[in-house]
């Protein structure tokens, strides 16, 4: 395989080149010599070793070298990462979830956020219909983006509206705030009241409409990708302008963002022939966005919160009856806010990472964990499950239940961290380091110290050593034997010593062949909660 030297060196995973805590590179690209070459390379133990012309040595896991990218979808923001849709694709129902389930269940949260990324929207049902609640919804996956409309805006009929949104008029499919750059990439609309006649909601997949235009009239599509349109909003306190194309492509020519809002297109200044071409293309695109088969219609009721991608989906509403002056008749009141896709995608990635970590741990318990455990009467998995169950039975806090359950993960082969980062492979450190990807020090601390705690207890507590199992007595010697009095005093002074000793005691007891222990799934919700 031909290797690009600077690329390979830029990806060196050694702790000199990359901060093990956060993966950030510790060198500048200009720190590398101008004539960098590979002097020697060899493959063994699943790794490519490289000796560089400047004397540096790197080791790369072969599976990393061979890894595919994310299937060409990159950060998932272009059309390549989306599921383009027409209304009929949701004949069986909208992507939606109950608010309570969304809050309680990481899998439900992941499904909702995944729908927003892939389909461009999702609806949460049963969100308390109280003012300001929409900000809490946004906070579950990111940060509110404040604008001239406030952190929160009310969508209802206003006496002196500065925007058509604040009237009872119908609004054709459009995206919001195209005059901002950066435009808010997410919008939330939370329905507090929709007791009026009319006021239904509509969504159109702007990427789908743009793709349709590209298929039917590539020249018109091209015009819309290269014409900078001046979007303007102006009131007494605001004067925003952004010159952006209606259809924005990424550097590989894929649809990446759509801006569409006739209300705020200001005067384009181009030669007349170019204006004719632009307006012909624009009208053609606009006509596509109005095709009934592309428009998904639904009605928001109190407690529904629509979350959607504002650089992809176009949203619309039908006209509604303006509230009567005497307070009779229905009314319509939504509260909205803006947020951004990047944090939503991050939240989803972390949820998925945590779910994958729990899956991996579960696989260890079911696979390698079923093997004999250092000559004990139980398997490694039984031993760890027993330790977790003992901690729970003792009324230990969740983080100690988790530490007891996970204290020996460093014995598993697949964690691999110790080899990758060049650390020693003592199983307590290995396990703690691996777990630190998802758990805080309240969990990893006792795991890291559980071997030291045995050596401490054998010194500090008369009779403790005599109660060790045969295997544990054997490993005690490998691990350095009992601590000296001085070592024991230093250990006892550590802030995490008590937790580590508690875990160690459950560890020692968890070796009974006949104990009935719950399965790993029993602990999964507890671990998921600790991962937050």
Question: Which region, left, alpha or beta, applies to residue 106 given φ > 0 means left and ψ of -120 to 50 means alpha?
Answer: alpha
> Per the structure block, which two tokens stand in for 382?
């039984």
Separation of alpha carbons 95 and 4, rounded Å: 44
For a copy of itself, the closer of residues 71 and 463 by Cβ is 71
Minimum distance of a copy of itself from residue 317's CB (angstroms) = 14
Nearer to a copy of itself, 111 or 381 (CB): 111
Q: Which is nearer to a copy of itself, 256 or 511 (CB)?
A: 256
Closest separation between CB of residue 139 and a copy of itself, Å? Answer: 10
Minimum distance, C-beta of residue 2 to a copy of itself, in the bound complex (Å): 4
Q: What is the β-pairing status of strands 313-317 and 201-205?
A: antiparallel
Distance of CA 34 to the CA centre of its chain: 38
| Helices of type H across 19-160 | 62-65, 99-104, 106-118, 133-139
Shortest approach of a copy of itself to residue 7 CB, angstroms?
4
Coil, strand or helix at 26:
coil
Residue 262 vs 328, nearer CB to a copy of itself: 262
CB of 209 to a copy of itself, least distance (A): 13
Q: What residues contact 69, with CB distance under 8 A and at least 6 apart? A: none
Nearer to a copy of itself, 35 or 413 (CB): 35
Strand duo 305-309 + 121-125: pairing = antiparallel
DSSP 430-494: HHHHHHTTTS-HHHHHHHHHHHHHHHHHHHHSTTTGGGS-HHHHHHHHHTT-SPPHHHHHHHHTS
Of 341, 96, 312, the C-alpha closest to 205 is: 312
Q: Which is nearer to a copy of itself, 342 or 363 (CB)?
A: 342
Please confirm whether the linkage preceding 440 is cis (ω < 30° from 0).
no
Q: Which helix (H) or strand (E) holds 402?
A: helix 398-406
SS3 (DSSP) at 114: helix
Nearer to a copy of itself, 460 or 526 (CB): 526
Q: Which is nearer to a copy of itself, 285 or 456 (CB)?
A: 285
Q: Which CB sits closer to a copy of itself, 419 or 436?
A: 436
Q: By C-beta, is 5 or 128 nearer to a copy of itself?
A: 5
Distance in Å, CB of 350 to a copy of itself, minimum = 5
CA distance 65 to 53: 20
Nearest 10 degrees: Cα torsion 512, 516, 522, 526: -50
Give the integer Cα–Cα distance in Å for 29 and 6. Answer: 9
Phi, psi angle pair for 313, to nearest 5°: -80, 145
CA 278/CA 219 separation, integer angstroms: 10
Query: How many residues are listed for the chain in this entry?
Result: 532
In the bound complex, what is the minimum distance in angstroms from residue 426's beta carbon to a copy of itself? 21
Instruction: Report, in Å, the least distance between residue 226 CB and a copy of itself.
Output: 5
Rounded to a whole number of angstroms, the minimum distance from the CB of residue 412 to a copy of itself is 21
Closest approach, Cβ 49 to a copy of itself, in A, equals 18
With H, G, I as helix, E, B as strand and everything else as coil, classify residue 204: strand
Q: For a copy of itself, give the closer residue by CB, 212 or 517.
A: 212
User: Min. distance of Cβ 255 from a copy of itself in angstroms?
Assistant: 14
Beta bridge mates, 229: 244
R_g of the chain computed on alpha carbons: 30
């Amino acid at each position: 395989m031909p290797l690009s030297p600077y690329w390979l060196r830029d990806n060196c995973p050694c702790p000199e080149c990359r901060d093990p805590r956060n993966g950030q590179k510790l060198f500048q690209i200009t720190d590398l010599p101008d004539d960098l070459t590979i002097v020697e390379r060899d493959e063994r133990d699943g790794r490519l070793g490289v000796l560089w012309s400047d004397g540096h040595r790197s080791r790369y896991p072969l599976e990393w070298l061979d890894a595919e990218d994310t299937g060409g979808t990159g950060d998932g923001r272009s059309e390549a990462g989306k599921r383009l849709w027409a209304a009929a694709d949701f004949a069986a129902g909208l992507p939606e979830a109950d608010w309570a389930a969304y809050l309680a269940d990481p899998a439900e949260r992941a499904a909702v956020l995944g729908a927003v990324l892939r389909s461009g929207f999702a609806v949460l049902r049963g969100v308390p219909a109280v003012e300001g609640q929409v900000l809490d919804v946004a906070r579950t996956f990111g940060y509110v983006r404040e604008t001239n409309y406030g952190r929160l805006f009310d969508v209802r009929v206003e006496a002196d509206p500065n925007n058509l949104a604040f009237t009872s008029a119908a609004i054709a499919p459009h995206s919001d705030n195209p005059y901002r750059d950066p435009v808010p990439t997410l919008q939330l609309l939370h329905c507090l009241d929709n007791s009026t006649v009319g006021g239904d909601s509509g969504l159109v997949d702007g990427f789908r409409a743009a793709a349709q235009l590209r298929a039917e009239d590539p020249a018109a599509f091209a015009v819309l990708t290269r014409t900078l349109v001046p979007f303007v909003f102006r009131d007494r306190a605001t004067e925003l302008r952004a010159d952006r194309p209606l259809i924005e492509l990424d550097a590989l020519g894929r649809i990446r963002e759509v801006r569409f809002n006739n209300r705020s297109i200001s005067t384009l200044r181009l030669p007349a022939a170019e204006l004719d071409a632009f307006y012909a293309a624009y009208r053609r695109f606009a006509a596509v966005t109005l095709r009934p088969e592309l428009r998904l219609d639904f009605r928001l009721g109190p407690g529904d919160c629509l979350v959607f991608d504002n650089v992809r989906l176009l949203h619309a509403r039908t006209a509604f009856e303006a509230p009567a002056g005497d307070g009779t008749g229905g009314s319509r009141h939504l509260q909205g806010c803006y947020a951004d896709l990047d944090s939503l995608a991050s939240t989803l990635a972390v949820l998925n990472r945590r779910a994958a970590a729990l899956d991996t741990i579960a696989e260890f318990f079911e696979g390698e964990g079923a093997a004999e455990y250092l000559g004990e009467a139980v398997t490694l998995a039984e031993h760890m499950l027993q330790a977790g169950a003992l901690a729970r039975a003792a009324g230990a806090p969740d983080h100690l239940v988790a530490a007891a359950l996970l204290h020996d993960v460093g014995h598993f082969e697949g964690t691999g961290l110790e080899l990758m980062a060049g650390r020693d492979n003592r199983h307590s450190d290995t396990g703690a380091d691996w777990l630190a990807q998802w758990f805080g020090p309240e969990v990893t601390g006792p795991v890291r110290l559980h071997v030291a705690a045995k050596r401490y207890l054998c010194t500090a507590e008369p009779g403790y050593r005599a109660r060790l199992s045969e295997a544990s007595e054997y490993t005690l010697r490998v691990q350095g034997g009992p601590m000296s009095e001085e070592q024991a005093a230093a250990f006892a002074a550590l802030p995490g010593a008590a937790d580590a000793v508690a875990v160690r005691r459950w560890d020692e007891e968890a070796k009974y062949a006949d104990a009935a222990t719950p399965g790993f799934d029993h602990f999964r919700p507890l671990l998921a909660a600790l991962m937050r």
